[in-house]
Amino acid sequence: MSKAPVVYKRKLPGKAKRGFGLLNATGQRLWLGPDHLLVINTLYFKERYKRFYFTDIQALTITRTTAGMILNVVFAILASLFGIWGAAAYFTLGWDPVAAIFLGIIAVCILLGLALNSLFGPTCRCFMYTPVHCEELFCLGRLWTARRVARDLRAIAEAAQSGTPDPTDMDKLANRQSSVQRQTPGLAAATTASRAAQELRHDDGKIHSSLFYLLLVDAVMSVSLLLWPDFLPAPVSMGFVALLIFVTVAAVIRQKRSDLPRNVRNVTWTIFAYLCLLVFFMYIFTVLSEFGRTLGEDEPPALEGLQTILVKVINSISLVFDLLLSFIGLRYLADFRRRSAAYEEPAAAPPEE
């Protein structure tokens, strides 16, 4: 521990963030020091530093995830919905071209997002193992970057630890990995062990399943509204969205420190993002209709057309996402319930080495 400042010569690539938008998005950067890796986590104007010495780095794992693909599917659905309604407005339904152009611009922006997301490549999660814990390097969220950084870190760690592991050690590791795998069909032993160590609460997923069923109800409402626009007064459907948001927030709070699997938790967060999007479009719709009302008789037909078509867009968005998210959520939840039901008995038996 000298008082001379440590010089960090190289910054490793990787820019992925964690957290939700402006709310709590945490940035992370990796820097190479003379003998350690500096991990900087940034939240607003606060920086937190963690130092990992090269001699303590035990392992790196990279697992490809489907997050990027799911995001592309979401972008594709949104873009095609806006595109279809824009084209319908222009060619068949006889609405004003202003509405079609408005929707077209939104569709192009979404397509741009899709192109960028594809350009960054597949997503992944990267973990670094030390003798006492396992740190997620969440800035390495894209596979190609993660592989490049892992290759560099591997060379550095092997240089610091003089070489590669013994073949006998590697055999031992292989035995351990496969024996743990055999012992616990289905859910991993490591998961249960770490669940016990972190004192995670068991959650039966009641709030989550009610959220997914509410989404199905919302899908039915959206179909009705698409077919008969006056089926429900606007305050009722807005009230229902408010109820959905309330249940989603409850589910997000509930799943914290619970043993619900990651895929169920991710679906909940996706529902939250989708509801934010829905509220945004409903807000635009309300502003437009209020504006139209102040104009009264002078309301231009373009504005009226835009309102009519925005209702259709909102309802088709909610129909597609309601169905998609509730089916995926219910499937993951059923998987989890089946696994945890099958897991009760072996967990009660005393652990054996």
Stretch 146-175 residues interacting with other proteins (CB under 8 A): 147, 150, 154, 157-158, 161-166, 169-170, 172-175
Closest contact distance (angstroms) between CB of 200 and other proteins is 11
Binding segment for other proteins among 54-62, 85-93, 109-117, 290-298 (CB under 8 A)? 54-62
* Residues shown for the chain: 353
DSSP 29-86: EEEE-SSEEEEEEEETTEEEEEEEEGGG--EEEEEEESHHHHHHHHHHHHHHHHHHHH
Of residues 55-114, those binding other proteins (CB under 8 A): 55-65
**Contact status: 22 vs other proteins (CB under 8 A):** no
Q: Which is nearer to other proteins, 74 or 187 (CB)?
A: 187
| Short-list 211, 245, 215, CA closest to 324 | 215
Q: Which is nearer to other proteins, 206 or 339 (CB)?
A: 339
Contact with other proteins (CB under 8 A) among 22, 49, 92, 341: 49
Q: How far apart are CA 321 and CA 339, in angstroms?
A: 27
Contact with other proteins (CB under 8 A) among 15, 48, 201, 337: 48
Secondary element (H or E) of residue 338: helix 301-348
Closest contact distance (angstroms) between CB of 54 and other proteins is 9
Binding segment for other proteins among 84-92, 185-193, 244-252, 311-319 (CB under 8 A)? 185-193
Of residues 113-142, those binding other proteins (CB under 8 A): 124-127, 129-136
Secondary element (H or E) of residue 10: strand 10-12
Q: What single letter denotes the amino acid at residue 304?
A: E
| Short-list 260, 250, 251, 266, CA closest to 337 | 260
DSSP 88-130: IIIIIS---HHHHHHHHHHHHHHHHHHHHHHHH--EEEEEEE-
DSSP 170-202: HHHHHHHHHHHHHHSSSS-HHHHHHHHHTTPBP
Contact with other proteins (CB under 8 A) among 74, 79, 100, 187: 187
Contact with other proteins (CB under 8 A) among 206, 262, 337, 338: 262
Binding mask 193-222 for other proteins (x = CB under 8 A): xx--xxx-----------------------
Closest contact distance (angstroms) between CB of 341 and other proteins is 17
Of residues 273-332, those binding other proteins (CB under 8 A): none
Closest contact distance (angstroms) between CB of 146 and other proteins is 9
